[in-house]
Copies of this chain bind each other. A is one copy, B any other.
Amino acid sequence: MEPDPILPVTKTLAEFVADLAWQKLPPAVQEEGRLAIADTIGGALAAVNEPAARAVMAIVEGETGPSAIWGTALRTTPRNAALVNGAMAHAHDIDDTNPSMRGHPSCPVVPAIFALAAKTGASGQELVTAYVAGVEIATKLGRAVNMPHYNKGWHTTLTLGTLGAAAACARLLRLDAGKTAIALAIAGSRAGGLVANFGTMTKPTHSGFAAEGGVTAALLAQAGTTANPAALECKNGFFDLFAGLEQVQPALALEALNERFDLVDPGNIYKQYPTCSLTHCAIDMLLDGVAEGAIKPDQIASIDCGVGYRCVSTLPYHDARTGLEGKFSMEYCLAAALVHGQVTFAEFEDEKVRSPAIAAMQRKINLYTHPELTTPESVPYDFTDIVIKHQDGTVFHGREQKAKGDPAKRWTLQQFKDKFVRCAAGGMGAEAAARLWDDLHRLDALPAGQPKGLI
């Protein structure tokens, strides 16, 4: 059999990015871009005082420039702002995910383009277009490299996220296809990110690294840095090193460009809870079950929770000691939902994670890999299965495939706005937060430099 010809992935994707324009975007894609940008910024504004964000802010202290650090009056250089806002956007882990990427598409891209827009000027239409370009590159490359890439232990938010941010910034800088390909090639050399750092402050910082790496790659390409214009697909290139040339399916990265946007198909999944997305179906079931009276927290004898095999590596904290570990602990998230009746930012304060009531509930939990979900091939069919036995003999049984916020369980506009206000109100008050959401929801109508305080 003849070997497959090497597809010009870098070049083709670069042409797609360089040619993308607001007018080419289907209305549903335009709307999704506005919503995702707003949702990302909301999550970031909730995290201004998170230790992970504060540490990154500390290392750029005194380094002034044109770009806003969200939620503060500080301005810093574009690369610094991308780093800080990127870390902030992922600090609560309440930002969106996308199944094609198997990671977080927006938390590197949105900070990167807002940071750069302060330097270059960009209309709201340009920002949304750049956002779409970034997410499409990260997700389409995700199609090509996943699941092998994800399964090896790479944090896709930093690997694919750097490429997404670079693509978005290349679009914002109006680089031609040739220089956009170079930006992608440079971004390939900036990619990295160890899943071993999950459950620590370095995990959200990865998103800052990706945002900053994307800005850097695009600026370097603009400034004339050369790179291998086939760096994604060639030997010793991105596919080869981050997944293995024999493992990837490059054609999937090029499928249906300009026709199917991964942003809406399969679509971003928005997060209600500031935890790993793999915990969300379970939390939904528990909160609903308690609300409906089908689960009686003070009567629980045992909880069996069957999950997909990815949880073994992604949710390694079976006895979380910190809020950040709690975000990657199915046991803690289940216990918090049952003990506190909610899973909000407050449930991830360290002392709450270590409370005796939580420990007592966690002892009743049996987490296991469901026998139907033991292989990489089962990932698209992932579900969470919950069986709760009560002391009075009643049993609750729930099984969910999709959490609220998934395209299959689409939020209303009001739910998007409510989440944003919940996130942003702490810093600016609920009224200003609501107005800011309204502005972001008509971002394409705003002139360059708006909304103030974000650019």
A196 touches B59 (CB 8 A): no
- In angstroms, Cα B186 to Cα A411, docked, is 36
Which of these, B65, B202, B234, contacts A186 with CB under 8 Å?
A: B202
Chain B proximity of A146: nearest CB distance (Å): 15
Q: Which chain B residues lie closer than 8 Å to A152 at the CB level?
A: 241
Is B59 a contact partner of A194 (Cβ separation < 8 A)? no
B interface footprint on A286-319 (CB within 8 Å = 1, 0 otherwise): 0000000000000000000000000001000000
* Known contacts A63-B63, A65-B63; A197/B153 CB under 8 A: no
The answer to whether the Cβ of A384 comes within 8 Å of any Cβ in the partner chain is no
Cβ-neighbour of A226 out of B190, B313, B324 (below 8 A): B324
Task: Name the interface size band of chain A.
Answer: 35 or more
Report chain B residues within 8 Å CB of A200.
Answer: 185, 225-228
Which A residues, 241 to 293, have Cβ-Cβ distances below 8 Å to chain B?
A: 241
Interface contact B189-A189, CB-CB below 8 Å? no
CB contacts (< 8 Å) of A21 on chain B: these are none
Highest count of chain B CB atoms <10 Å: which of A153, A192, A219, A227: A192
Q: Across the interface, which residues of B come within 8 angstroms of A54, CB to CB?
A: 223-224
A383: interface (CB < 8 Å): no
Oligomeric state, in number of copies?
Answer: 2
A236 CB within 8 Å of chain B: yes
A313 to chain B: closest residue by CB: B236
CA distance A196 to B54 in the complex (A): 36
Inter-subunit contact B189/A190 (CB<8 Å): no
* Interchain CB contact (< 8 A) of A236 among B194, B201, B219: B194
Give A185 Cβ to nearest chain B Cβ, in Å: 6
Nearest CB in chain B: distance from A330 CB, A:
18
Contacts A197-B227, A226-B324: A205 and B186 contacting too (C-beta < 8 A)? yes
Task: Write the nearest CB–CB distance from A153 to chain B, whole angstroms.
Answer: 3
Chain A 174-205 per-residue mask, 1 if CB under 8 angstroms from chain B, else 0: 00000000000110111111111101111001
Cβ contact within 8 Å between A154 and B197:
no
- Bound Cα distance A189, B153 (Å): 12
A225/B55 in contact, CB under 8 A = yes
Is A225 within 8 A of B240, CB to CB? no
Q: Does A129 contact B (CB under 8 A)?
A: no
